[in-house]
Structure 1
Amino acid sequence: MSDVQIRPFTADDTAVFARLASDPRVTAFVGDGRPWSEETVAARASDALADDPVDRVGSSRWFIAEEQGRPVGLGTATRRDGCVEIGYWVDPAVWGRGVGGAIVTELVRAAPGRFGIGRLVARVHPTNEASSKALLRRGFSAQNAGDGVVHYALDVTPRFERA
């Protein structure tokens, strides 16, 4: 298992995000499956840095995943109606080492307290077996296969107390 920790995304992390977003191996299971344009990267990074109130639907918090001080991925948590949707991208240089699962573990620890909601969800492309396994190993269950993706859910309400 990888020793990964997450920390809040900052403006200095935009280059890491841009590198991941322009890599077709990373974006293969995101949106339309194509690398993102510079304009899209800039707009999304700006949104991530907005620090919107966490009680607003659509508000998100981004995190950089680091292993021994080196960026290895990105995690996101976004407030939805009655839940928090998590997402994660892993640098292909560290694929197969458990980094994605470690990011999920860290998001499960961080997101409920940050948003005050214990129901977590994730949406995964049906052919992304590594991501599905990472979620299932951490207690998520597959809910349905709507809108071209498989929905996973985990309720951690009993395990956290709202601050």
Structure 2
Amino acid sequence: MPYTTSPVLPPGTLRRSPQPVLATGDGLVLRPWRIEDAPAVHAAFQDPLMHQWHLMASGSEAEAVGWVERWLTEWEGERIAQWTVADAHSGQLLGRVALRDIVLADGLAKIGYWTTAAARGRGVAVRATATLTRWAFDAIGFHRLELLHAGANEASCRVATKAGFALEGVKRSAFHHPDGWHDMHLHARVHGE
């Protein structure tokens, strides 16, 4: 049975080119992961705040190497695309920003991010999210980007709002964190807004 609409983005839209490096224009760079990032990833996941809002825990640098190795292969699969957020001058790892749950046919993806403890309060997540959003809409042609965060995570809510993602609603008891079930805020942006 034929569909009545064409795919928003055809298969191969991402993988036909190497994963790009994206500059924020204000001192940050979004770049593909490197194996040498693993020690900094492991260190970032020793922060108790990361344990509160993220389900992963890094027990060793070797485990973090495995994560980075997996992240490096995801671009080809076109379901997840992850970038290191780094200081453009020093190269210091400041966080991660990603497109997750990519559905090219629908022009849809979810934005995800985290920052290191040293990067918090400096607008790193907002600047990285805004840069990735512009690229996804303008260079690739995504139609809609969503952003989900635990309702109790007020800092993440501020990031979403400052990056231009409108709050659309609450998904009740939608995500299981170590301390129990959390309501999730659903934010979104549509191309052209």
Map 1:13-162 → 2, pairs under 5 A: 13-31=37-55, 35-38=57-60, 41-53=64-76, 56=78, 59-67=79-87, 68-69=89-90, 70-81=92-103, 82=106, 83-112=108-137, 116-146=141-171, 147=174, 148-156=183-191, 158=192
The amino acid across from 2:83 in the alignment is F
Where 1:120 maps in the other structure, the secondary structure is strand
AA of the residue aligned to 2:54: V
Superposed displacement of residue 52, structure 1:
4.3
Larger radius of gyration: 2
Q: CA deviation at 1:12?
A: 2.3
TM-score (norm 2): 0.67
Matched to 1:66, the amino acid is A
Query: How far did 1:155 drift?
Result: 1.0
Q: Provide the TM-score with structure 1 as the length reference.
A: 0.77
The whole-number CA distance in structure 1 between the counterparts of 2:136 and 2:39 is 24
Structure 1 residue runs of 5 or longer lacking an equivalent are none
Q: Which runs of 5+ in 2 are unaligned?
A: 1-25, 175-182
Deviation at 1:48, TM superposition (A): 1.0
Q: 1:13 to 1:114 in 2, by over 3 A?
A: farther
Q: Which amino acid aligns with 2:84?
A: I
Secondary structure of the 2:113 match is: strand
Contact 2:97 2:128 in 1 (8 A): yes
Percent identity between the aligned chains?
A: 19
TM-fit CA distance, 1:13:
1.8
